Homo-oligomer: A and B are copies of this chain.
Amino acid sequence: MEGTIRCSANYVPLSPISFLERSAIVYRDRLSVVYEDVKYTWKETHQRCIKLASALADLGISRGDVVAALAPNIPAMYELHFGVPMAGAVLCTLNVRHDSAMVAVLLEHSEAKIIFVDYQLLNTARGAVEILAKATTKLPLLVIIPEGSKVRKPIPTHENLEYESLLAKGKLDFEVRRPKDEWDPITLNYTSGTTSSPKGVIYSHRGAYLNSLAAALLNEMSSMPTYLWCVPMFHCNGWCLTWAVAAQGGTNVCLRIVNAKGIFDNVAQYKVTHLGGAPTVLNMIVNAPASERRPLPGKVVVMTGGAPPPPQVLFSMEELGFTVTHSYGLTETYGPGTVCSWKPEWDSLPRDVQAKIKARQGLHHLGMEEIDIKDPVTMKSVPPDAKTMGEVMFRGNTVMNGYLKNSKATQDAFNGGWFRSGDLGVKHPDGYIELKDRSKDIIISGGENISTIEVESVLFSHPSVLEAAVVGRPDDHWGETPCAFVKLKDGCDASSEELIKYCRSRLPHFMSPRSVVFQDLPKTSTGKTQKFVLREKAKAMGSISEQRSSKL
């Protein structure tokens, strides 16, 4: 339209950097970050991030360079989420459970110029650099993050740089390098590795901005929330809450080690209003001994996701007084992509029915454009009959830019103009979706699909079961049959036969496990069960078809 002018007065590329800049003014003297005896205000956090960006620029970091980080949920990790983008660079957060070999692979693939390392993870990082040194001369600079307490233990840094000294060199008058285009990358998140090889998922400033606002809204996070960090910041940038908490001028309560005592203590001490965690974290909370529990200081909203939560766990959380919001997404969708929006008319249902509904993945949040369940070949939507399975697909501004240096994988993922999640699910008559399995996890037995999530939910509802995972065990006759791996609660007991009988009374016979193995479950650092490890084990167990019942 004639009269339109686009200029700095009316167009600014979207970026979470704006959140920090605004909070430094609006919420200036309010607590931004708390960690043991360290406390910062938003003004201080802003200044520290500018100094960090300035120091990075002085170290030669240019626009588009990758800066890696290997650290738990400590203040420096939070600052890196702003300081690195403010230097124009791309933050690549690495899983703290990776070993040196994996860290070396990711440093090489991302071409990270610098790696920030928590002092407790120094050996892993140094080991990775040593591995790299054998293959290349372009080694990343190592910056050590000391323990974030005011009384700092001196760290033997040798030739390495130290985080606080680096910040001290930064200049407050540094001109922040805002993105030239909001589509420019802000972070790089390697997928967790439940699948084959990790892929580097590229997030943009635009996507991060929009998903942060959506996250604030779907958490019903009003201004100045107090957020307890249980979700690792290295995982989808803490489901984008790193930025969302800044947007709302909240207080970030950092937590190095996530356990029930730490959660209850911090919730009580800081009057936490919001926290997040995978179902395993919720499981930790509901199974905490009475001695570790503390009364809640008020309404505490818990966002769960990362794996389908068993209804039993949701039920127990609500019994404890938490308000649980269930969200589902993938690294490729910036973490949360859906939310199971609660309908007031469900309030009058029995609590256990409510928990079953809450275990559904729901519908896309405000930042996502569309979600659907489609036949992956014909791209036709499945009917909303709660039965027909299809692949969960997303479309919207909070879907990744692509996989770093892997255009082929990006093309495959976006084939048909939708992001193909690889998750299988059904659509309920009200439109809400429910996951049934990862496409690679589903068990096909005698031609029938078995949702391992459904079987696991039944096992979880048994009073003695702490954790359960079901995989397919090869079977000469049926192809495969369900095999359950179970960890019992402390002091509880249950036999294989008892659990199988329990399942058979609640599930069709063919869906119930044929074998049960009692053991600790192997996990990724984000709390997901490594089913490929269990599948290997089940495979090694061989067929049990000779023991099969004929009553199908």
Chain A residues engaging chain B, CB cutoff 8 angstroms = 1-12, 14, 18-19, 22, 25-28, 30, 64, 90, 183, 185, 200, 202, 207, 213, 216-217, 220, 222-224, 247-249, 341, 343-344, 363-364, 366, 369, 394-397, 399-407, 409-411, 413-414, 417-419, 430-431
A399 contacts B10, C-beta separation under 8 Å: yes
Beyond A3-B405, A4-B401, A431-B25, whether A12 also contacts B366 by CB under 8 A is no
A25 to B27 Cα, complex, angstroms: 36
Q: Are A395 and B3 in contact (CB under 8 A)?
A: no
Bound CA–CA A8/B404 (angstroms): 19
A-B contact pairs, 20 of them (CB 8 A): A1-B185, A2-B405, A3-B200, A3-B202, A3-B402, A5-B407, A5-B410, A8-B418, A9-B394, A9-B399, A9-B417, A10-B207, A10-B402, A10-B419, A12-B397, A18-B369, A22-B363, A26-B431, A30-B343, A217-B248
Query: How far in angstroms is the closest Cβ of chain B from A540?
Result: 37
With A224-B344, A363-B25, A366-B213 known as contacts, the answer to whether A418 contacts B6 (CB < 8 A) is no
Nearest 8 interchain pairs by C-beta:
A10-B399, A8-B417, A4-B401, A9-B414, A4-B402, A3-B402, A220-B222, A12-B369
Task: Flag if B363 contacts A403 (CB, 8 Å).
Answer: no
The interface residues of chain B lying within 8 Å CB-to-CB of A26 are: 341, 363-364, 431
Q: By CB atoms of chain B within 10 A, which of A366, A394, A417 has the most?
A: A366
- The complex places the Cα of A407 from the Cα of B410 at a distance, in Å, of 43
Contact (A401, B200) CB under 8 Å given A344-B224, A406-B3: no
A170 CA to B203 CA, complexed, in Å: 41
The contact of A12 among B200, B222, B223, B395, by CB within 8 Å, is B395
Q: Do the beta carbons of A418 and B22 come within 8 Å of each other?
A: no
B-side contacts of A405, CB under 8 Å: 2-3
Most chain B CB inside 10 Å of its own CB: which residue of A11, A25, A207, A248: A11
B431 near A28 with CB under 8 A, answer yes
| Nearest neighbor of A90 in chain B, beta-carbon distance | B1
Nearest-Cβ distance from residue A65 to partner chain B, whole angstroms: 11
- Complex CA–CA separation, A344 to B224 (angstroms): 10
Given contacts A9-B414, A430-B28, contact A397 B1 (CB under 8 A): no
Q: How far is the CB of A272 from chain B (nearest CB, A)?
A: 16
Complexed CA–CA distance, A26 and B7 (Å): 37
How many Å lie between the Cα of A363 and that of B24 in the bound state?
12
In the complex, A217→B200 CA distance in Å?
Answer: 33
Q: Once bound together, how far apart are the Cα atoms of A90 and B248, in whole Å? A: 33
The residue from B3, B213, B341, B413 contacting A403, defined by CB atoms under 8 A apart: B3
- By a CB distance below 8 angstroms, the chain B residues around A7 are 414, 417
In the bound complex, how far is the Cα of B419 from the Cα of A19, in angstroms? 21
| Contact assessment for A247 and B6 in the assembled complex, using a CB-CB cutoff below 8 Å | no
For residue A352, give the distance in angstroms from its CB to the closest CB of chain B: 24
For A185, list chain B residues within 8 Å (CB): 1, 4
Q: Point out the residues of chain B lying under 8 angstroms from A343, CB to CB.
A: 30
* Nearest opposing residue in chain B for A202, CB measure: B1
Residue of B with least CB distance to A2? B405
Report the minimum CB–CB distance from A294 to chain B (whole Å). 23
Q: Which residues of B contact A223 (CB under 8 A)?
A: 217, 220, 341
Residues of B within 8 A of A249 (CB): 341
Cα-based distance from A394 to B7 in the complex (angstroms): 12
Q: A218's closest neighbor in chain B, by CB?
A: B223
For the complex, what is the distance from the CA of A264 to the CA of B343, rounded to whole Å? 27
B217–A2 CB distance below 8 A: no
Minimum C-beta distance from A331 to chain B (A): 14
Distance (whole angstroms) from the CB of A200 to the closest CB of chain B = 7
Complex: how many Å from CA A289 to CA B208? 50
Whether the Cβ atoms of B414 and A10 lie closer than 8 Å is yes
Pair A402/B5 contact, Cβ less than 8 Å: yes
